[in-house]
Amino acid sequence: MKYLKGMIALVIVVIIAIAAWIWTGSYNVGADSPHWAFTRYVIGQLREHSIESRSADITVPNLDDPALVAEGAHHYAEMCTGCHLAPGMGDSELREGLYPRPPNLTHFAPDPAEAFWIIKHGIKMTAMPAWGKTHDDQKIWAMVAYLQKQPHMSVERYRELAGLPAMAPVMTHEATSPATTDSAVPAMSAPMTVTPAAPSSAAAPAKAASTH
Ligand code: HEC
């Protein structure tokens, strides 16, 4: 009985200490302040097991259908490249500032069932949205099908599938380095000024490649 009372007192003290710590504001919620290694480990485990158990029963359809891949490329180019990049894109300013940083999906093909679940439901406390609120399962599978091919896809093939102009220069929109003509950034015929509010017809393709 004495032991139990001691335990209850300890729990109350810990709760008060945590509440006091929260109210002092000492925790830094800034996205540029990384988690402790322990916090990162716990979040990683939580994420992995949660997604694994929820995607275990998902039946993966045939993802090799070229029409499905092409449809997925369209959706992906419209909604995902600002965070996950695409063939021929440099890093985006949006991705650079996010914590956790979205994975570069040109580097690996995610597991199909898990990718379907993640795209549909999103991931709490990250920037990954739940696209299932606005897209049906067929459209989500199309994006999953496209993601399986993306790591081996050429820039030309990507732009063709996504319906983007073939010759549009790829713009990385580097704030720190002004326009240069290094080999990664093809020389542009128009001046490299970004006009976010009212894109001219010449700037539109480049803008679509970098921000949607
Ligand atoms: C605003 C940024 C943002 C946008 C837009 C976004 N995502 Fe994500 N996505 C993230 C983040 C952040 C993560 C990683 C979350 C984590 O670390 O747990 C993620 C994770 C993922 C993963 C899991 C990758 C893995 O590690 O296996 C997939 C698949 C994915 N996103 C697909 C998409 C698709 C498809 C779209 C477009 C329909 C999209 N995302 C749009 C931020 C974004």
How does DSSP assign 31-78, residue by residue? TTSPPPHHHHHHHHHHHHHHHHHHHTTPPP-----HHHHHHHHHHHHH
Model's pTM, two decimal places?
A: 0.80
DSSP state of 94: H
Q: Which residue has the CA at smallest separation from atom 43 of ligand 1?
A: 128
d(CA 85, CA 95): 9
CB 141 within 8 A of CB 116: yes
- Model confidence at 186, in pLDDT bands (50, 70, 90)? very low
Q: Which residues line ligand 1 (CB under 6 A)?
A: 47, 76, 79-80, 82-84, 98, 100, 102-103, 110, 115, 118-119, 123, 126-128, 131, 143
DSSP state of 62: -
pLDDT digits (tens, 9 = 90+) for 2-21: 899 999 999 999 999 999 99
pLDDT digits (tens, 9 = 90+) for 128-151: 999 999 999 999 999 999 999 999
Fold of 63-174+204-212: Cytochrome Bc1 Complex; Chain D, domain 2 (1.10.760)
Tell me the domain boundaries of the chain.
63-174+204-212
DSSP state of 152: G
- Model confidence at 108, in pLDDT bands (50, 70, 90)? very high
Ligand 1 pocket test, pick from 41, 107, 120, 128 with the greatest ligand atom count within 8 Å of Cβ, gives 128
Separation of 164 CA from ligand 1 center, angstroms?
22
pLDDT digits (tens, 9 = 90+) for 36-68: 999 999 999 999 999 999 999 999 999 999 999
